[in-house]
Structure 1
Amino acid sequence: MSQSPGTDPRPLTGEPLALDLLNTRWTDGGVPHDLLDSVAGLGVWLSSPPVREQLGPDPVPAADRATLDRLLLARTALDALAASTAGEGPAAPADADPLNEVLSHGRVRRTLGPDGAPASTVEVDDPSWAPAWHAAESWLRLLADRPDRIRPCANPACVLHFYDVSKNGTRRWCSMAGCGNRAKARRHYARRSEA
Structure 2
Amino acid sequence: MTRRPLVGEPLALDLVNTQWVERGRMVDLFDEADGLRGWLAEHGLAGDPASVEVPLRQARSALRGVLEQPGEEAERGINAILARGVSRYTLRQSAVHEHHDVDPDWLLSWRVVINYLDLLRQQPARIRRCGNPSCVLYFYDTSRNGTRRWCSMDGCGGRAKAARHYQRHRPTPTA
Question: Identity over the aligned pairs, expressed in percent?
Answer: 44
Unpaired segments of 5 or more residues in structure 2? Answer: none
Give the corresponding residue for 2:98. Answer: 120
Relative to the length of structure 2, the TM-score reads 0.90
Give the corresponding residue for 1:87. Answer: none
1:17 equivalenced with 2:11 (yes/no): yes
Unpaired segments of 5 or more residues in structure 1? Answer: 85-90
1:79 equivalenced with 2:64 (yes/no): yes
Partner-residue secondary structure (3-state), 1:76? helix
Measure, in 2, the Cα distance between the counterparts of 1:190 and 1:181: 14
Deviation (angstroms), 1:147: 1.0
1:39–1:68 CA contact under 8 A, matched in 2? no
1:61-82 superposed Cα distances (whole Å, 9 cap, x missing partner) = 1111x31111111111111111
Q: Larger radius of gyration, structure 1 or 2? A: 2
1:146-188 superposed Cα distances (whole Å, 9 cap, x missing partner) = 1111101001121110000111110000111211111101111
* Runs of 4+ in structure 1 over 6 Å off: none
Measure, in 1, the Cα distance between the counterparts of 2:116 and 2:168: 40
Measure, in 1, the Cα distance between the counterparts of 2:32 and 2:114: 24
Partner-residue secondary structure (3-state), 1:81? helix
Following superposition of structure 1 onto structure 2, how do residues 7-156 of structure 1 map, counting pairs within 5 Å?
9-37=3-31, 40-48=34-42, 51-52=43-44, 60-64=46-50, 66-84=51-69, 91-113=70-92, 115-126=93-104, 128-156=105-133
**Structure 1 residue identity aligned to 2:146:** G
Relative to the length of structure 1, the TM-score reads 0.81
1:39–1:63 CA contact under 8 A, matched in 2? no
Measure, in 1, the Cα distance between the counterparts of 2:32 and 2:91: 41
Q: Aligned residues, how many?
A: 172
Partner-residue secondary structure (3-state), 2:75? helix
1:70–1:132 CA contact under 8 A, matched in 2? yes
**Structure 2 residue identity aligned to 1:71:** L
Query: CA separation of 1:112/1:47 partners in 2, compared to 1, >3 Å: closer, same or farther?
Result: same
Measure, in 2, the Cα distance between the counterparts of 1:122 and 1:38: 31
Deviation (angstroms), 1:27: 1.9
